[in-house]
Amino acid sequence: MKINRIDHVGVIVNDLAAAKAFFLDLGLEVQGEWEMEGKLLNEVVGLNDVKVACVGLGTPDGQPWIELIQYYTPLDEREVRQPFSNTLGIRHIAFAVEDLEAIVAKLKKKGTEFFSEIQNYEDKYKLCLCRGPEGIILELAEKIN
């Protein structure tokens, strides 16, 4: 028995179009779009009367991808939570990037919230964290050569 790789990470969103646009603007590409409903989906996710729309976004090299999921039914009536970096659970998605300064400048122009300015991690990486759509924390990391 072995695990071969991480395939994808699912992220639940209220506004699928806005989340998709954010990640496309960041540089990801659509890998697929689909809707699902029915008995099998109900059983897999452990809910009743499930209907969802999904967008798979990734990099051209086929590495693990992000699956954005919007539930049409059942709805989660709670507000989107804005977690802190130390909130328990899955906390951020990290992207290896090129030209971090240009990406940060682009996101700042669009009003993206950043946790700090770009930081140097042991002269190995330039790093910064920002808050993407619906509170998703993103780590942007550029390897220093």
* β 125-131/51-58 pair status: unpaired
* Model pTM score: 0.88
pLDDT, residue 110, reads 93
d(CA 143, CA 96): 8
- Name all domains of the chain by residue range, CATH numbers in brackets: 8-73 (3.10.180.10), 92-143 (3.30.720.110)
Q: What is the pLDDT of residues 43-82, one digit of tens each?
A: 999 999 999 999 999 998 888 899 999 999 999 888 777 8
Q: What is the pLDDT of residues 76-130, one digit of tens each?
A: 888 777 888 888 888 899 999 999 999 999 999 999 999 999 999 999 999 999 9
Cα distances from 15 to residues 71, 118, 124, in angstroms, run 10, 29, 36
d(CA 112, CA 133): 9
Nearest of 53, 52, 50, 32 to residue 42 by alpha carbon: 50
